[in-house]
Chain A
Amino acid sequence: MQYSDKVMDHFTNPRNVGEIEDAQGVGVVGNAKCGDIMKMYLAIDENDVISDCKFKTFGCGAAIATSSMATELIKGRTVKEALELTNSAVVEALDGLPPVKIHCSVLAEEAVKAAIADYYKKVGREVDFPLESADERYEH
């Protein structure tokens, strides 16, 4: 199994790691049992633009790299644009992922959607997009 240079770059120097206090939207997907959890924080301004975006991830190299890339792809975009982010766009931006790691990119997409859903709920907007099994909360 070989990671692309882009994956290794985002794994070694992940962009936007951390938390955002009082984030407008926070999403957690995955579960510890399977070995991947992604937590996505979004700061969203009055124009629905994602002004800042941070993540924390428990997982393999691909999980960290896809989280990092996802934050790069949605930062500065509107919420609507961010909802259009697909896992294949994340894979493409990383110059590919080994087949067994594709699920990491799916998690990254779901993490963004879960954070936006959280934002919608907070502002009383209807969640009008499908949420995958995003909320299987982890146990210790």
Chain B
Amino acid sequence: MTFNKNLKNLFLVVFTTLILSACSTAKKSGNLDGDVYTGKETVKYLASGVPDRIFFATNKSSLTTASRATLRKQATFLRKNKKLNVTIEGHADERGTREYNLALGERRANAARDYLMTYGISGNRISVISYGKEKPVNPASTPLAWSQNRRSVTVKVN
């Protein structure tokens, strides 16, 4: 009897764990959409309402819907400030090999640059630089920190 009861409890525990883990892998939870950071914790602003950075999924350089919205705001801001030039810094998390991450950071920065260009910003105004995994904004070794570090940041240069 006791054994049966224990077994029942065990099932219950397993069942709850399944539900919980289902929640955590569900599309949106807390500050993550999949594994793309959606929070504001590390974000700075080029101007009021113009976030300076976008975030990426692991090993990816494709732009999310939220990233595109951010970049359109940056494009509007840059159109208004015609004399301003920017550098886009591409970054990766610490969970990849150094050389691949340098290439990945470069690809992320260029994805942002290309998008700004399709919104009418001249390529001459946008330089890119990749730092790979060299400059984490959050130094913790946690999935949240890694999501904050997979980013491209638009920085004013003048």
* Same assembly: no
Residues of B whose CB lies within 8 Å of any CB of A are none
